[in-house]
Amino acid sequence: MDFYSTNSLSWDKLEYGTDAIQNLHYGLIHVGLSTMIDLSKDKLPNITNGNTPKNYELCQEGDIAFADASEDTNEVAKAVEFYKLKDKDVICGLHTIHGRDNLQKTVVGYKGYAFSSTAFHHQIRRIAQGTKIYSINSKNFSECYIGIPSKEEQKKIATLLRRMDERIVTQNKIIDKMQSLIKGIVDYTILRKEKNAIVGDVCSISEQIRAEANIDDIITVRLHGNGVCKSSAENLQLGATQYYRRSAGQLIYGKQNFHNGAIGIVPISLDNGITSKDIPSFDIDEMKCNSVYLLAQLQSPQYYKPAEALTTGTGSKRLKEETFLKMPIVLPNKREQDNIAVLIHRASMNLDHAKRLLELLSIQKQFLLRQMFI
């Protein structure tokens, strides 16, 4: 490959939606673009008026752009290939390395995947320089190698991986639609109605059963952003940190550093797990309230944004149990709750299935990137 100079335009000198020259910023390589850039689908920012570089090299189909720096060694030299430019003028920008196969040893669509392969990135990790920020320059590529099979084989490899990428993009769109569907169900069936109860009407603080010390392979119940409980087996030396037993069906939330959606219900698989004292638990009166219905409501922005405003503390925001119990909710009759919960549950099951399929597609792609470019 031959390499060409790039510009150093920052985001404040770029904008979308004009007819000016388009500019590839390294941030888009890390997040936002697939391996194959197709300008009939992908959008790149335009250079704002008066900031066009005096000297530049227009990208051609088949050119490669590498991100020359990252905090993660796996992301250094992350590559994208200009697959379809649609007669648009594009140049490479800040923290990118612009390369071209002037000897035409490769077909359009092959190099992006070859430079995304595990074999190539093993080489990059050995030569990337830095401590907190790892970087590479075009001279380092003289130490790196990729396999170049026949052009016919290159076409087959590129076609297979490109179609897999397209399937992954489609799967992401399916997931987005399903998430919008669930949000719409919650919004239409719950949030548009007037609040007529509080959490304390259907929930009570659970009995705090202290976990005994030095238990092997304890299952710890965890929360993350979307409220799903996660678990991991650990060998904990219980002592200074207080841990408490949790039962399936209990409602829990992140008391410390309360943030969007940090709330969930302990699933059956995690019965008799433990949490720290910063994750309080509540028993739900199932005669009055459907837990699926309640959780969907409490995870909505209309709930956790007002709740976040009631947190205390400066650096570490905390939501007290007493405050949590006073939060207003919409509570229709139990039959209506159950019907809404069925809709949400079915949509959520389909969403989980779609996410699992996406995970499997990603695993399959990574397997091919490991095995096809040895």
Does residue 227 contact residue 297 with C-beta atoms inside 8 Å? Answer: no
Q: Which amino acid is at 224?
A: H
Rounded Cα–Cα distance for residues 156 and 366 (Å): 17
Global pTM reads 0.79
Per-residue model confidence as pLDDT tens digits over 293-322: 999 998 887 777 777 777 777 766 788 889
Pairing state between β 22-24 and 90-92 = parallel
Rounded Cα–Cα distance for residues 346 and 35 (Å): 34
Starting from the edge strand earliest in sequence, which strands make up the sheet with 251-253, in order? Answer: 203-205, 281-284, 251-253, 263-265
Which domains, from first to last, does the chain contain? 2-148 (3.90.220.20), 197-331 (3.90.220.20)
Helix (H, G, I), strand (E, B) or coil at 369: helix
Region of 227 (left: φ > 0; alpha: ψ -120 to 50; beta: rest) is left
- pLDDT tier for residue 274 given thresholds of 50, 70 and 90: confident
Per-residue model confidence as pLDDT tens digits over 162-194: 999 999 999 999 999 999 999 999 999 998 999
Q: Determine which helix (DSSP H) or strand (DSSP E) holds 364, and give its type and residue range.
A: helix 334-371
What the block records as the tokens of 110 is 């092959």
Report the range out of 97-111, 250-264, 269-283, 313-327 with the highest average pLDDT: 97-111
Region of 18 (left: φ > 0; alpha: ψ -120 to 50; beta: rest) is beta
In whole angstroms, how far apart are CA 344 and each of 173, 338, 339, 371?
19, 10, 9, 41
Rounded Cα–Cα distance for residues 167 and 165 (Å): 5
* CA max distance for the chain: 74
Rounded Cα–Cα distance for residues 164 and 183 (Å): 29
- pLDDT for 82 beyond 70: yes
Give 360 or 219, the one with higher predicted confidence: 360
Per-residue model confidence as pLDDT tens digits over 49-72: 999 999 999 999 999 999 999 998
What the block records as the tokens of 323 is 């405050």
In degrees rounded to 5, what are phi and psi of residue 98? -100, 115
Helix (H, G, I), strand (E, B) or coil at 304: helix
Average pLDDT of every residue of the chain:
89
Q: How many helices (H) and strands (E) does the chain have?
A: 8, 21
Does residue 113 contact residue 80 with C-beta atoms inside 8 Å? Answer: no
Does residue 194 contact residue 184 with C-beta atoms inside 8 Å? Answer: no
Per-residue model confidence as pLDDT tens digits over 210-228: 876 555 556 777 776 666 6
Name every residue whose Cβ is closer than 8 Å to that of residue 166 and which is 6 or more positions away in sequence.
none
Closest CA to 294 of 252, 237, 353: 252
Rounded Cα–Cα distance for residues 282 and 299 (Å): 15
Question: Which residue is it, tokens 């992301």?
Answer: 75
Name every residue whose Cβ is closer than 8 Å to that of residue 136 and which is 6 or more positions away in sequence.
66, 68, 69, 76, 77, 97, 124, 127, 128, 129
Distance of CA 284 to the CA centre of its chain: 31
- Taking residues 134-155, what's their average pLDDT? 93
Does residue 85 contact residue 61 with C-beta atoms inside 8 Å? Answer: yes
Rounded Cα–Cα distance for residues 297 and 331 (Å): 10
What the block records as the tokens of 22 is 């388009």
Please report the sign of the dihedral spanned by the C-alpha atoms of residue 6, residue 10, residue 15, residue 16.
Answer: positive
What the block records as the tokens of 195 is 């609040």
- pLDDT for 241 beyond 90: no
